[in-house]
Structure 1
């Protein structure tokens, strides 16, 4: 049963948020362990170590999210002294609470809080996409994002036991079948009249790419969050996530992905962009 996030919990996590000299938000491990109800700081450190491993497995540099610092901490006498601490990004907090004791109500609250806030931050980072005006620019942006997240999905699948290339192809096919109403990669190729040598993702418009990006990111997250183990379970997870994305498209009245038109290869657009840059170099390139 999902834990409802209370206003008190939101206030608690927001109250310990700090801003560094560069205007970047962070949380101190020395503050977080107390809020999460751990009796001693040393009992909290193994949780952070697990979070670091999860960060590395997500293809994120640990140093970008976990920074060892010395922090002035109030001791019993009211005086302060420097103690080892860790500067945690919002994403680091998200990974940390995912690995904390799930039996604690406050941990469940923290998981909901940081998961929600991390998702909001990701959406805000998509402002770069929202500022793009042409379909070609949006396709290039989403294709690059999908390439990055497909790599992270492959890592998550490998952690679940999908190791051999053939098994990964089957795993990917399950995602397609969920999203495309039972159609696998071969059937999608036939449905869209693509040649065997043509990659499906290279001929998708921005709408179809966005749907597949959502499928990839949500599957990766679920594989890691639910600690999915085994090829069969991983395949089922990918199918179920794809099916849920499809259901969302249906509820919003959107066009099913298999019915979206085929567009020119993204490779052609990349070539055009390179030629344009050669014709119109920026001031720095002149």
Structure 2
């Protein structure tokens, strides 16, 4: 027991050795967050956990952005394949653009031009470059279904294929809305062209 005097008061304090205690990472975090930050060790631990938390947030954000880029790449591949299938069945590039636009109207309940305006997408840029991941995947799923059904049902000509694509987009929309997701209400994301992954 140590006796110390400060300002006329007598204080008793005791020191004894204790065994090392191993804590989980979360327990260390709680001790640091609830400790006295005036103590150097606690201030260091609080700073460490703040940095680690931010680092984890950045990694998570990068993974989300990477998934969106992958979904956009997949949609471009699906649409390229679909365009080839449709060309073999009497649909030219202009017809494909009309079919794709009518699919957007069925999926989003507004045509591509209106949706671009609502989301602030420049007229010269593809809509999908600004869509969130779920909307990109919805467009991709509907386009995949159209590609499969055009071949399985042996469809030819713009009207028959257009009807098929609209039906597929309506089916995808119904599935989303049934789960409480209204694709036209989801805000735009950053231009995907600004996301560069090395």
Query: Do both share a fold (TM > 0.5)?
Result: yes
What is the rounded CA distance, in whole Å, between the counterparts of 2:91 and 2:117 in structure 1? 27
Shift of 1:173: 1.0
Equivalent position of 2:186 in the other structure: 260
Equivalent position of 1:154 in the other structure: 83
What's the secondary structure of 1:152's corresponding residue? helix
* CA displacement, residues 220-260 of structure 1 (integer Å, 9 cap, x when unaligned): 11111101111111111111110110001111222x21111
Shift of 1:134: 1.9
What is the rounded CA distance, in whole Å, between the counterparts of 2:176 and 2:192 in structure 1? 24
Give unmatched runs, 5+ long, in structure 1: 1-131, 275-286
Equivalent position of 2:63 in the other structure: 134
Query: In structure 2, do the counterparts of structure 1 residues 263 and 133 end up closer, same or farther at CA, with 3 Å as the change threshold?
Result: closer
What is the rounded CA distance, in whole Å, between the counterparts of 2:150 and 2:169 in structure 1? 13
* Count of equivalent residues: 138
- 8 Å CA contact retained: 1:160, 1:234: no
What is the rounded CA distance, in whole Å, between the counterparts of 1:249 and 1:261 in structure 2? 16
Shift of 1:198: 2.4
What is the rounded CA distance, in whole Å, between the counterparts of 1:167 and 1:208 in structure 2? 23
What is the rounded CA distance, in whole Å, between the counterparts of 1:191 and 1:261 in structure 2? 9
TM-score (norm 2): 0.66
Equivalent position of 1:194 in the other structure: 121
Shift of 1:133: 7.1
Structure having the higher helix fraction is 2
Shift of 1:179: 0.8
What is the rounded CA distance, in whole Å, between the counterparts of 1:207 and 1:166 in structure 2? 27
Equivalent position of 2:157 in the other structure: 230
- 8 Å CA contact retained: 1:174, 1:236: no
- 8 Å CA contact retained: 1:175, 1:242: yes
What's the secondary structure of 2:184's corresponding residue? helix
Is 1:210 matched up with 2:137? yes
- 8 Å CA contact retained: 1:162, 1:168: yes
Equivalent position of 2:101 in the other structure: 173
* CA displacement, residues 161-207 of structure 1 (integer Å, 9 cap, x when unaligned): 212x22121111121111112x2211111221222122211111111
Shift of 1:218: 0.8
What is the rounded CA distance, in whole Å, between the counterparts of 2:162 and 2:118 in structure 1? 23
What is the rounded CA distance, in whole Å, between the counterparts of 1:260 and 1:231 in structure 2? 30
Shift of 1:143: 0.9
RMSD: 1.6
